[in-house]
């Protein structure tokens, strides 16, 4: 089909969340009118609030809204839209959607359908890349999908192998198989996930490199045969094959290796007649060898780190290329300045195997001033604000925190400070886990590979050891916040005879929020506070075990406070999440349950003889029969949430008495899934 350059003045963003907000930000700067689309679950979402116009697509389910091609095109026609930007995910790599837009006379801000098709089928893509001279990982990419044949091919390749959905991406439908014994179960799970996410259960198999780095190259092509690469990103730190922290440029990259990978990426793009922004992903082995993984025919989640080091707006490039303009820069005009990190803020619980979380965001704020940071150092791309709801229907990513520094060490220091300044309340997130990652010695020393989190699990998830200073600081912060709210109905106001303006003694119990019971009067986490508090920075005397400290607290800008203990002053970002005091600093986060000794509810943490849903989701499969005798850790049932499967296991040796749900049922977080009888 011959392309006729078309200028447009209205842009519809066929997506939601942070990427919809991010695309509309550039579109508005370019003078374009913006149109949002939404499902019933997103009727009041941020991207809807920020758009010039918004059109409802349908119910919450993605298949009935954001994946509904007819509804999206009808919304475009209804609003006089000249072009559609797909963001990432949803319809961004759907060739049928692109063809439908061509027929409707609407410009697609992305590659042609033929390029999407060429890379959408990973097996066919491998063959095309081989023709273009792009290095490939050994594997099986054939059309014959017989289970027995796939097992035979895996045996030939040699374990460990990676099972991957042929039509998929984003970590869905992927498993590492360590041996032939586990192949069948992994294959079944991959097929289920792939079918649910992509409507296609075909698999490919690749040799699993033990400690490779995941390095990807940003490419851009126009309709006049021009192609460039905007350097590379290291995306090695992942959980469930999904990226967590990305950085650019890739550390340790030599000019020769950068040029070799960049040239290979441009060859890959030109092989399929690519137009627009794309990302060619490689596995980089320790010996400097690199292998083609796949090409994502869209804008990547982590594109901001490339923007930070190049000074280019990739969404603007996309829109200009879609209008028929040539690339804004030649290869020799592109340069790297400094270093950038991106940390993905997810609504998930790292302590519970990264289970997705839902709820109401009671607070979502970044206190740059309190952290001493500038807007030129930190960028927050977010799809939510305080008061927004996080639902079970979509990906759990809330925002992306992007930082820039003159070099890797400076950027990493800024990332730690910015993470400490990010205040998210009401929904469990991975923010503290990201701080532990960014402060890990292996991460600082660039000991990176795609199994970094798995290899360092013992240290990343080690039980927190609290110091006397932690207990003392939390006690003061809790008292300060209590004083600030003394006229409210907050449960923190139950001070039972404690007078804010008179000498008094109060006993505060502080404990790990994840502990089975709060601290008691005999525990080390009890702080005895004595003193008269008549000004905000008054002095107190604290007794913790055998230690006595002279203490004071001074509020600073935003959420920042200064806590002084025996003359040692610490600057902290201080906030409260329910009864939990949260203290953040560049070296990490401390969370302590704060309560008066006489106010503790000792029955709060009693165990139950049942298994409850850890998140909102759908039951996929029941793996045992009612009445079955099981051992601790044995899989009992499979749930699916946000397109990912989660296996519920037996909490102890015992028997499953009753299942309360069947496969296909939707369940709410906290619902009792089954009754369990532990062995005596």
Residue in 239, 298, 408, 591 annotated catalytic? 298
- DSSP conformation letters of 57-106: EESSSGGGTTT-HHHHHHHHHHTT-SEEE--SSTTTT-HHHHHHHHHHT-
- Residues 524 and 515: their CA atoms lie apart, in Å, by 14
Find tokens 């795609």 and name the residue: 450
The CA distances from residue 365 to 116, 227, 359, in Å, are 38, 39, 17
Phi, psi of 415 (to 5 degrees): -60, -45
List the one residue out of 592, 616, 572, 452 whose CA is nearest residue 523. 592
List the one residue out of 448, 197, 228, 189 whose CA is nearest residue 326. 228
Helix (H, G, I), strand (E, B) or coil at 169: coil
Structural contact between residues 657 and 638, judged by C-beta atoms closer than 8 angstroms: no
What residue spans of 457-611 are helical by DSSP H?
Answer: 457-460, 468-484
Structural contact between residues 106 and 76, judged by C-beta atoms closer than 8 angstroms: yes
- Residues 228 and 221: their CA atoms lie apart, in Å, by 7
List the one residue out of 276, 284, 368 whose CA is nearest residue 322. 276
* Assigned token pair, 139: 């594997």
Q: Do the bridges between strand 83-85 and strand 107-108 make them parallel or antiparallel, or are there none, so unpaired?
A: parallel
List the one residue out of 403, 423, 436, 450 whose CA is nearest residue 302. 403
Q: Identify whether 135 is preceded by a cis peptide bond (ω within 30 of 0).
A: no
Other CB atoms within a 10 A radius of the CB of residue 188 amount to 14
- Residues 203 and 222: their CA atoms lie apart, in Å, by 32
CA end-to-end distance (rounded Å), the chain: 72
- Residues 37 and 645: their CA atoms lie apart, in Å, by 28
Angle between helices 314-322 and 303-310 in degrees, nearest 10: 100
Phi, psi of 270 (to 5 degrees): -70, -30
The CA distances from residue 494 to 64, 490, 600, in Å, are 48, 8, 11
In sequence order, which residues have a C-beta less than 8 Å from that of residue 117 and are 6 or more positions away?
A: 95
Facing residues of 242 across strands? 239
298 counts as catalytic: yes
* Assigned token pair, 165: 């959905």
List the one residue out of 321, 311, 296 whose CA is nearest residue 224. 321
* Assigned token pair, 437: 């990652």
List the one residue out of 303, 297, 306 whose CA is nearest residue 338. 306
State how far Cα 50 lies from the chain centre.
23
- Residues 218 and 303: their CA atoms lie apart, in Å, by 8
List the one residue out of 161, 138, 143, 165 whose CA is nearest residue 151. 161
Active site residues: 298
């Amino acid at each position: 089909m011959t392309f006729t350059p078309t200028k447009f003045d209205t842009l519809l963003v066929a997506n939601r969340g942070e990427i919809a907000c991010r695309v509309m930000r550039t579109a508005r700067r370019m003078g374009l009118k913006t149109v949002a689309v939404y499902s019933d679950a997103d009727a009041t979402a941020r991207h809807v609030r920020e758009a010039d116009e918004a059109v409802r697509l349908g119910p919450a389910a993605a298949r009935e809204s954001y994946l509904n091609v007819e509804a999206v095109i009808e919304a475009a026609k209804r609003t006089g839209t000249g072009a559609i930007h797909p963001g990432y995910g949803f319809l961004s790599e759907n060739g049928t959607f692109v063809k439908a837009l061509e027929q409707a006379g609407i410009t697609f801000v992305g590659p042609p359908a033929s390029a999407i098709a060429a890379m959408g089928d990973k097996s066919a893509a491998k063959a095309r890349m081989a023709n273009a001279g792009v290095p490939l990982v050994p594997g099986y990419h054939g059309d014959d999908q017989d289970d027995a044949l796939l097992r035979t091919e895996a045996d030939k390749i040699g374990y460990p192998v990676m099972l991957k959905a042929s039509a998929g991406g984003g970590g869905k439908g992927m498993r590492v198989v360590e041996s032939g014994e586990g192949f069948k179960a992994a294959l079944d799970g991959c097929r289920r996930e792939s079918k649910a996410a992509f409507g296609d259960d075909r698999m490919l198999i690749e040799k699993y490199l033990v400690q490779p780095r995941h390095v990807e190259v940003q490419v851009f092509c126009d309709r006049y045969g021009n192609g460039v690469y905007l350097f590379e990103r290291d995306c090695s730190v992942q959980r469930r094959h999904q990226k967590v922290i990305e950085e650019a440029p890739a550390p340790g990259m030599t000019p020769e290796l950068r040029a070799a990978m960049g040239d290979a990426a441009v060859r890959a793009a030109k092989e399929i007649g690519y137009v627009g922004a794309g990302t060619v992903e490689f596995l980089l082995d320790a010996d400097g060898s690199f292998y083609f993984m796949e090409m994502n025919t869209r804008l990547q989640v982590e594109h901001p780190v490339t923007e930070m080091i190049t000074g280019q707006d990739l969404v603007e490039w996309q829109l200009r290329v879609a209008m028929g303009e040539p690339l804004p820069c030649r290869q020799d005009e592109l340069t790297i300045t400094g270093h950038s990190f991106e940390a993905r803020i997810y609504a998930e619980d790292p302590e519970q195997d990264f289970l997705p979380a839902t709820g109401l965001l009671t607070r979502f704020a970044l206190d740059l001033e309190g952290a001493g940071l500038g807007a030129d150092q930190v960028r927050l791309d977010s799809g939510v604000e305080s008061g927004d709801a996080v639902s079970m229907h979509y990906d759990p990513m809330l925002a992306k925190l992007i930082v820039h520094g003159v070099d890797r060490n400076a950027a990493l220091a800024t990332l730690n400070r910015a993470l400490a300044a990010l205040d998210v309340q009401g929904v469990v997130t991975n923010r503290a886990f990201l701080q532990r990652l960014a402060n890990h010695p292996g991460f600082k020393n660039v000991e990176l590979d795609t199994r970094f989190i798995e290899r360092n699990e013992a240290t990343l998830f080690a039980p927190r050891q609290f110091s006397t200073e932690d207990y003392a600081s939390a006690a003061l912060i809790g008292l300060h916040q209590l004083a600030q709210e003394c006229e409210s109905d907050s449960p923190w106001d139950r001070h039972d005879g404690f007078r804010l303006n008179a000498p008094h003694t109060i006993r505060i119990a502080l404990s790990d929020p994840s502990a089975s019971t709060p601290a008691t009067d005999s525990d080390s986490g009890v702080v005895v506070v004595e003193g008269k508090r008549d000004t905000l920075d008054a002095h107190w005397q604290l007794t913790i075990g055998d230690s006595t400290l002279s203490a004071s607290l001074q509020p600073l800008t935003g959420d920042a406070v200064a806590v002084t203990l025996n003359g040692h002053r610490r600057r902290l970002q201080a906030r409260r999440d329910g009864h939990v005091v949260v203290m953040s600093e560049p070296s990490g986060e401390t969370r302590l349950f704060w309560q008066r000794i006489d106010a503790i509810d000792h029955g709060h943490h009693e165990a139950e003889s049942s298994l409850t849903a850890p998140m909102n989701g759908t039951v996929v499969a029941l793996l045992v029969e009612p009445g079955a005798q099981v051992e601790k850790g044995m899989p009992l049932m499979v749930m699916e949430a946000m397109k990912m499967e989660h296996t519920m296991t037996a909490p102890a040796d015992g028997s499953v008495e009753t299942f309360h749900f069947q496969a296909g049922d939707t369940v709410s977080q906290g619902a009792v899934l089954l009754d369990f009888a532990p062995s005596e």
